[in-house]
């Protein structure tokens, strides 16, 4: 059978790049980097993440534009909110990912596709001691426009209720706190897992947004924030593994 040109174009347009969650966290980060998602163009990455999350029977998944929310509903006493943005700033000939000397390079590797990969690995857990909500949202890099989290706060604030929010921006795998609200029991467990004292960081707008909603918030993720939005940004593969371990242990406890 001959496939007409228009039909071939339709097949390409409908293709969703798969993100197999059994991949190791570094390979998953590379896959995320290789799906371009400059602000206003997050749709294909949201499609891939939604498809991957819907393979997990323990998660309820909802889609709001280019924002994807997945959550467990296991009846645990505490709920942790894991938050990461899909968009990057425009690239500078650095779209494709590669690894060299323990560093994973590519557009958004540091800010914040490494953090997204850690979230996705946590979504594939089979045993949870805390309920968890994953928010993969659009529009963070557009200061003049509302982000996906802003729209959720207006339209579905119930999805943002939690005892602790962990914003997965790059922090060099250290915990940063804004100091706005008292920390929950889950935060104490988190700090114990990381093993270092938190760093005051009042300028972290992502965490501050959740504190305004009454949700205690931390910022924690792989990568040096000073490398964000640079041509040679990278994330250390060792930090990817470290952050994955911390989140898995927090959610299993």
Q: What pLDDT, in 10s, does the model give residues 34-75?
A: 999 999 999 999 999 999 999 999 999 999 999 999 999 999
* 96 part of a folded domain: yes
pLDDT of residue 223 exceeding 50: yes
pLDDT at 114: 98
Mean pLDDT, the chain, as a whole number?
A: 91
pLDDT at 11: 43
Q: Does residue 112 have a cis bond before it (omega within 30 degrees)?
A: yes
pLDDT tens for each residue of 142-153: 988 999 999 999
36, β-bridge pairs: none
Place 180 in a pLDDT band, splitting at 50, 70 and 90.
low
pLDDT tens for each residue of 161-178: 999 999 999 999 999 988
* 9 part of a folded domain: no
* 221 part of a folded domain: yes
Contacts of 232 (CB under 8 A, 6+ apart): 94, 105
Structural domain boundaries, residue 152:
21-252
Q: What is the DSSP letter of 98?
A: E
* 16 part of a folded domain: no
pLDDT at 94: 79
Q: How many other C-beta atoms can be found within 10 angstroms of the C-beta atom of residue 87? A: 23
* 208 part of a folded domain: yes
pLDDT at 10: 43
For 110-118, what is the mean pLDDT? 97
In our burial notation (b when 16+ CB lie closer than 10 A, e otherwise), range 178-197 reads: beeeebbebbebbbeebeee
Q: Identify whether the C-beta of residue 248 lies closer than 8 Å to the C-beta of residue 126.
A: no
Of the candidate ranges 9-18, 43-52, 71-80, 130-139, the one whose mean pLDDT is the lowest: 9-18
* 244 part of a folded domain: yes
Give the CATH number, domain containing residue 136: 3.40.630.10
* 240 part of a folded domain: yes
Total domains present in the chain: 1
Integer Cα distance of 109 and 140 in angstroms: 16
Place 8 in a pLDDT band, splitting at 50, 70 and 90.
very low
* 13 part of a folded domain: no
């Amino acid at each position: 059978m001959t496939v007409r040109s228009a039909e071939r174009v339709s097949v390409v347009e409908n293709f969703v790049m798969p993100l197999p969650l059994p991949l190791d966290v570094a390979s998953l980060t590379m896959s995320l980097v290789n799906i371009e998602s400059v602000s206003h163009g997050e749709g294909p990455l949201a499609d891939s993440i939604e498809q991957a999350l819907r393979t997990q029977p323990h998660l309820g998944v909802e889609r709001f534009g280019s924002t994807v929310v997945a959550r467990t509903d296991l009846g645990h006493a505490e709920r942790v909110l894991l938050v990461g943005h899909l968009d990057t700033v425009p690239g500078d000939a650095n779209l494709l990912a590669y690894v060299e000397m323990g560093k994973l390079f590519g557009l958004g590797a540091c800010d914040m596709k490494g953090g997204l990969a850690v979230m996705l690995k946590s979504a594939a857990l089979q045993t949870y001691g805390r309920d968890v909500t994953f928010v993969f949202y659009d529009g963070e890099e557009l200061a003049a426009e509302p982000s996906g989290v802003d729209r959720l706060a207006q339209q579905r604030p119930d999805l943002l209720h939690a005892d602790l929010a962990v914003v997965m921006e790059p922090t060099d795998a250290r915990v940063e706190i804004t100091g706005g609200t008292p920390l929950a029991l889950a935060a104490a467990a988190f700090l114990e897992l990381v093993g270092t004292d938190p760093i005051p960081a009042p300028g972290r707008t992502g965490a501050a947004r959740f504190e305004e909603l009454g949700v205690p918030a931390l910022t924690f993720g792989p990568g040096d924030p000073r490398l964000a939005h640079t041509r040679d940004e990278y994330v250390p593969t060792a930090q990817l593994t470290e952050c994955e371990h911390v989140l898995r242990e927090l959610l299993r406890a």
